[in-house]
């Protein structure tokens, strides 16, 4: 009992010290640890049906439509009801690429590979939320262009 009480006392003082420091984590909006943060509003999910360009050829494309209530579990994969090879004629959705039908040894399967079953592991919708951190990404095409210019 006594050791527990001491542990709690130590935890209490260290939390107090942390809270005093205040600006610990920018992701929490610089709110001290022991204060409750006003939650951010829920931002709108992009639903304009316009495919975004990819930042590099192997990037999983972002999802340009809402995915609310699109169930993906052991029994059903709602995404595949539009994006599978057999369904794209009716839905006009882009087919999942051939890599989604490959196993880890590069063999082509007739069905979606289990490695690609949980779509949202790699594909995510976008929101109109303001950026939490600055983005300094430069497209490789821009880097190549700059290099060509300096070599001339
Ligand atoms: C009702 C049919 C339908 C369902 C269900 C659906 N999609 Fe789509 N998806 C589309 C269509 C159509 C497009 C083409 C752009 C558009 O119209 O939104 C698309 C576009 C995409 C793209 C962009 C592809 C690219 O090349 O840029 C991704 C990624 C995607 N969907 C992933 C998903 C995922 C993941 C799910 C399940 C959570 C899903 N979709 C469920 C119809 C669907
Ligand atoms: C492990 C990561 C991963 C998972 C899981 C995954 N994808 Fe992808 N997806 C990618 C990558 C990477 C690309 C781009 C390169 C490629 O085509 O392989 C892509 C490409 C796509 C494209 C564009 C195809 C094209 O030719 O333009 C669609 C549509 C898509 N995925 C839908 C899905 C759907 C639907 C699921 C779930 C059934 C899914 N993906 C699961 C990584 C993934």
Expressed in angstroms and rounded, the spacing between residue 96 Cα and the centre of ligand 2 is 6
56-91 b/e (C-beta count within 10 Å ≥ 16 → b): eeeeeeebeeebeebebeeeebebbebbbeeeeeee
Q: Residue 87: CB within 6 Å of ligand 2?
A: no
Specify the DSSP class assigned to residue 29.
Answer: T
For the stretch 50-69, pLDDT in tens is 999 999 999 999 999 999 99
For the stretch 69-127, pLDDT in tens is 999 999 999 999 999 999 999 999 999 999 999 999 999 999 999 999 999 999 999 99
Ligand nearest to the CA of 51: 1
Give the predicted TM-score (pTM) of the model.
0.84
Q: Determine the atom of ligand 1 nearest the C-alpha atom of 92.
A: 12
Specify the DSSP class assigned to residue 127.
Answer: B
Nearest CA to ligand 1 atom 3: 82
For the stretch 112-147, pLDDT in tens is 999 999 999 999 999 999 887 888 999 999 999 999
Please name which of 135, 122, 131, 141 lies closest in space to residue 59, comparing C-alpha atoms: 122
Ligand nearest to the CA of 101: 2
């Amino acid at each position: 009992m006594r050791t527990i009480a001491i542990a709690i006392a130590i935890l209490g003082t260290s939390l107090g010290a942390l809270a005093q420091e205040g600006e610990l984590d920018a992701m929490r909006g610089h709110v001290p640890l022991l204060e409750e943060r006003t939650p951010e509003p829920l931002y709108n999910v992009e639903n304009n049906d316009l495919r975004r360009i990819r930042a590099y050829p192997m990037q999983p494309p972002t999802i340009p439509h809402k995915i609310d209530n699109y169930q993906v579990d052991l029994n059903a994969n709602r995404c595949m009801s539009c994006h599978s090879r057999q369904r794209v004629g009716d839905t006009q959705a882009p087919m999942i690429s051939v890599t989604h039908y490959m196993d880890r040894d590069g063999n082509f399967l007739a069905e979606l590979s289990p490695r690609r079953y949980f779509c949202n592991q790699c594909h995510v919708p976008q929101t109109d939320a303001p950026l939490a951190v600055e983005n300094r990404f430069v497209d490789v095409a821009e880097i190549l262009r700059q290099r060509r210019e300096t070599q001339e």
